[in-house]
Structure 1
Amino acid sequence: MSHKRIPKRKAAIAAGSVVALGAAAILLPHANASQDGSSTDAAPKTMKATDASDLASQLQGLLGQAFAGSYYDAAAKQLVVNVIPGDNNNVVVQAEKAGAKVREVSNSLAALKTGAQTLKAKATIPGTAWAVDPKTNKLAVTADSTVTGADWNRLTSTVKSLGDGMATVKRSSGTFKTLVSGGDAIFSQVQGGTVRCSLGFNVKASDGSPAFLTAGHCGVAAKQWSDSETGQPIATVDQATFPGNGDFSLIKYDDPNTQAPSEVNTGEGQPVQITQAADATVGEQVFRMGSTTGLHDGTVTGLDATVNFQSETDPNGVDTVTGLIQTDVCAEAGDSGGSLFTQDGSAVGMTSGGSGDCTSGGETFFQPVTAALQATGATLGDGGAGAGQAGSADPSASASDPAGGGDAVGGGGTADPSATASDGTGDQSGAGAGDQSGAGAGDQSGAGTGDQSGAGTGDGSSSLTGTN
């Protein structure tokens, strides 16, 4: 295969240098309890969401079982930490002196996780999802429009069995589905049609070769991917996970000299440089880039979410995915695998699936980048020779141009039907990741599989000022 250099203008999501997965630790040099264990009058500190995430991780270890979750108050720019009342005054004082706002709540994190296990055992119904909501200190349970009749009764009775004040149930107007087809588009040809997804983030594989991360249901759908709908394959699936504990895949570029710059192309010549991977924090503002709908923003609403997608292989089955980020950011078919990031250049997630659309809104779930990096052994950073030499993005570029981070990679590859979800190398379109245009969940080529430059790259939201 001839040498392929990814143009700088198509650099949609990568990282220019290898970075640690967490920002520098926030040390707690003054976090000492008073001699009598009384509470401190220290005022909560203002901080960025990424700093709040780091501090929350430290305080979780400090508080132990007293820790009941945390979230970022974006308006006040403060970290709010939930604690269970008890004999923990000393550590509460330390948490306050470290800069957190501490509040007492009723439900422990252990109790909420037990509730989630009960939902998994008794209410794993296609079209349902749940996650811990630290703002309400409850489990937030969501049911899409397909959950009716006996299924609805089963869900609500299970929630009721958890006890008062443990969970809430709300309806979603759409249908939970994987959003195959997506940052800038990537393509593959499988039996039955074209699969289209989005490249999430360029990375370096554990063996040093250039690669990228995208959604797992994309990597399970097809083995080889191209940067144009009818082009030759330029990348091959190395690992894929879907369903199960995550929705991510690692796809290696076939050319070891492929350049993979570190930025998100927002479509107006103002790329966002990606400098690190970061864990999501409930309450923080995030941005999503996808080839179908372009750039949209919203808020993280839950972590470690469980989503039950209707199985594409068994009409009565369910594809359950755990460990996802829940948000109120909109997305549509074609956005799968696309990048979730913060304004300061932190890679946060890749689009998995959700309900609704960018007209009426909805819920969208994302695979955490940090978990995908840990599972695959990849590092965010230099994706090949010359990587990191990213120039400004060209807003006129289309999905038919060669791929960069977040760009198209698909078309023309022959999928291996013998592959399984565990190796992520074959045609598993029946697993909800391939051509699902009939179900509205998979390849939406009729809604734009070719040049997507007009649909999502010039929506006026690339200034990252918050457009939703």
Structure 2
Amino acid sequence: MRRTLRARIFLSVILALPAVGLGSGTAGAVPDPVPGVTASPTQYSLDRTIEHSLGDRSAGSYLDATTGELVVTVTDAAAAEEVRAEGARAQLVEHSTAQLESAMSTLEAQAKITGTSWGIDPRVNQVVIEADQSVSASSLTQLENVAAGLGDAVTIRRVPGVFAREVVGGDAIYGGGYRCSAAFNVSKGINRYFLTAGHCTNLAATWYATPGGPPIGGRVGTSFPTNDYGIVRYRVGPQPAGVVNLYNGTYQDITSAADPIVGQAIKKSGSTTKVTSGTVTAVNVTVNYGDGPVYGMVRTTVCSAGGDSGGAHFAGSTALGIHSGSSGCRGTRGTAIFQPVREALSAYGVSVY
């Protein structure tokens, strides 16, 4: 595939905004990353089915790093039987989704501190809180005091760097004096669009493939903070392919979208760090950026840098998310955050192709 002005904007959007840091906590150093495993289409489907059927009798699911099995956490024996009947492995845990979400509600009300994030890691059946290096000693004490009241439902990690949104991307797009990139090309009827980060589309209504060049599209939707996604409609012209740039002369065709599973291996494509790999480590994540919080995000070990905002997070031909920000990336260490793509697809009524 050639890059052309109008037709080939594939991936990440990256803005010149700060990257938010997550934490390795007061509980100790950031743990070494565990390699992710490949998620199958059957596991994506089974994960959604079981999550819907069990409701509060589960606290999430993950892929076993050794066997690759889908493991579903459950709070009672009857739920465990249902999981096994569906062909997954059951793991009895103490805390339900409702209890973990209640802990996050307490954090939201009592410890909403810039430079922190929290989300559910079903592998440890806890809300994992991260605090970046911008969190002061007094704020960290406040966070620890709130966490103490939540018992073993939460754990805190102090992480390097500072949480920030990152602006710069895959195949670059320009608007409002910033450089970003498109995450995924999508369609609705005969119309073609690209998705990117909402903190990018907040900045400009018209987007260009080169500074000063002809416009390639106009913003038709944007959401940040709370969410971090936006959509731009291509102008009439050649129709872009539904692929992601792999930065080695080849492209990954995208044919479906799914919600990520903790423990799965993923990749990110962005214009600064190009293609990086890592693992999903938490879901339903809240990130407290300096200019507003985002909710329902996904935490990963996929490294990124300034300019990667809006980048594509994917696994094989499956679209998973839109890059939002990161903190403390060093090789395979650090934390990166993405917006789940299915939420954006649903919000705008579009589909990958």
The TM-score bracket by the shorter chain reads 0.7 to 0.9
2:82 corresponds to = 94
1:250 corresponds to = 231
- The 1:11–1:180 alpha-carbon spacing in structure 2 relative to 1, beyond 3 Å, is closer
Contact kept, 8 Å, 1:5 with 1:259, in 2: the verdict is no
Contact kept, 8 Å, 1:331 with 1:356, in 2: the verdict is no
- The 1:108–1:171 alpha-carbon spacing in structure 2 relative to 1, beyond 3 Å, is same
Query: Matches of 1:72 and 1:353 in 2, distance apart?
Result: 24
Contact kept, 8 Å, 1:201 with 1:214, in 2: the verdict is yes
CA deviation profile, 1:116-166 (whole Å, cap 9, x unmatched): 000001111110000011000000000000001221111111111112x11
1:287 corresponds to = 267
- The 1:117–1:143 alpha-carbon spacing in structure 2 relative to 1, beyond 3 Å, is same
Query: Matches of 1:81 and 1:223 in 2, distance apart?
Result: 43
2:223 corresponds to = 241
Query: Matches of 1:81 and 1:93 in 2, distance apart?
Result: 11
* TM-fit CA distance, 1:52: 1.8
- The 1:47–1:288 alpha-carbon spacing in structure 2 relative to 1, beyond 3 Å, is closer
Contact kept, 8 Å, 1:49 with 1:284, in 2: the verdict is no
2:10 corresponds to = 12
1:335 corresponds to = 308
5 Å-filtered alignment, 1:63-74, equals 63-74=54-65
Contact kept, 8 Å, 2:43 with 2:70, in 1: the verdict is yes
Contact kept, 8 Å, 2:59 with 2:73, in 1: the verdict is yes
Gaps of 5+ in 2: 13-36
5 Å-filtered alignment, 1:50-449, equals 50-85=41-76, 88-89=77-78, 91-163=79-151, 165-188=152-175, 190=176, 194-205=177-188, 208-244=190-226, 246-255=227-236, 257-311=237-291, 319-343=292-316, 345-359=317-331, 361-381=333-353
Query: Matches of 2:209 and 2:139 in 1, distance apart?
Result: 42
CA deviation profile, 1:327-381 (whole Å, cap 9, x unmatched): 01111111000100002x0000010011123547311110111000001112222
Gaps of 5+ in 1: 15-45, 312-318, 382-468
Query: Matches of 2:139 and 2:39 in 1, distance apart?
Result: 42
Query: Matches of 2:96 and 2:338 in 1, distance apart?
Result: 25
- The 1:74–1:12 alpha-carbon spacing in structure 2 relative to 1, beyond 3 Å, is farther
Contact kept, 8 Å, 1:116 with 1:139, in 2: the verdict is yes
* TM-fit CA distance, 1:50: 3.5
Query: Matches of 1:48 and 1:361 in 2, distance apart?
Result: 22
Query: Matches of 1:113 and 1:337 in 2, distance apart?
Result: 27
Query: What code does the residue aligned with 2:341 have?
Result: V
Query: Matches of 1:338 and 1:82 in 2, distance apart?
Result: 31
Query: Matches of 2:130 and 2:83 in 1, distance apart?
Result: 32
Contact kept, 8 Å, 2:302 with 2:332, in 1: the verdict is no
Contact kept, 8 Å, 1:247 with 1:321, in 2: the verdict is yes
CA deviation profile, 1:429-454 (whole Å, cap 9, x unmatched): xxxxxxxxxxxxxxxxxxxxxxxxxx
CA deviation profile, 1:252-294 (whole Å, cap 9, x unmatched): 1122x33110211212223111111111111100000000110
Query: Matches of 1:279 and 1:262 in 2, distance apart?
Result: 19
Query: What code does the residue aligned with 1:254 have?
Result: R
1:392 corresponds to = none
* TM-fit CA distance, 1:230: 3.0
1:40 corresponds to = none
Query: What code does the residue aligned with 2:125 have?
Result: N
Query: Structure 1 length normalisation: TM-score?
Result: 0.67
Q: Which structure has the larger Rg over C-alpha atoms?
A: 1
* TM-fit CA distance, 1:232: 2.7
Query: Matches of 1:153 and 1:339 in 2, distance apart?
Result: 36
Contact kept, 8 Å, 1:184 with 1:338, in 2: the verdict is no
Query: Matches of 2:119 and 2:343 in 1, distance apart?
Result: 17
- The 1:216–1:138 alpha-carbon spacing in structure 2 relative to 1, beyond 3 Å, is same
Query: What code does the residue aligned with 1:110 have?
Result: A
Contact kept, 8 Å, 1:92 with 1:102, in 2: the verdict is yes
What number of residue pairs does the alignment pair up? 326
C-alpha RMSD of the superposition: 2.0
Query: Matches of 1:219 and 1:167 in 2, distance apart?
Result: 34
Query: Structure 2 length normalisation: TM-score?
Result: 0.87
1:41 corresponds to = none
Identity, % of aligned pairs?
Answer: 36
Query: Matches of 2:346 and 2:122 in 1, distance apart?
Result: 25
More strand by share: 2
Contact kept, 8 Å, 2:9 with 2:185, in 1: the verdict is no
- The 1:13–1:217 alpha-carbon spacing in structure 2 relative to 1, beyond 3 Å, is closer
Query: Matches of 2:5 and 2:165 in 1, distance apart?
Result: 31
Query: Matches of 2:143 and 2:59 in 1, distance apart?
Result: 25
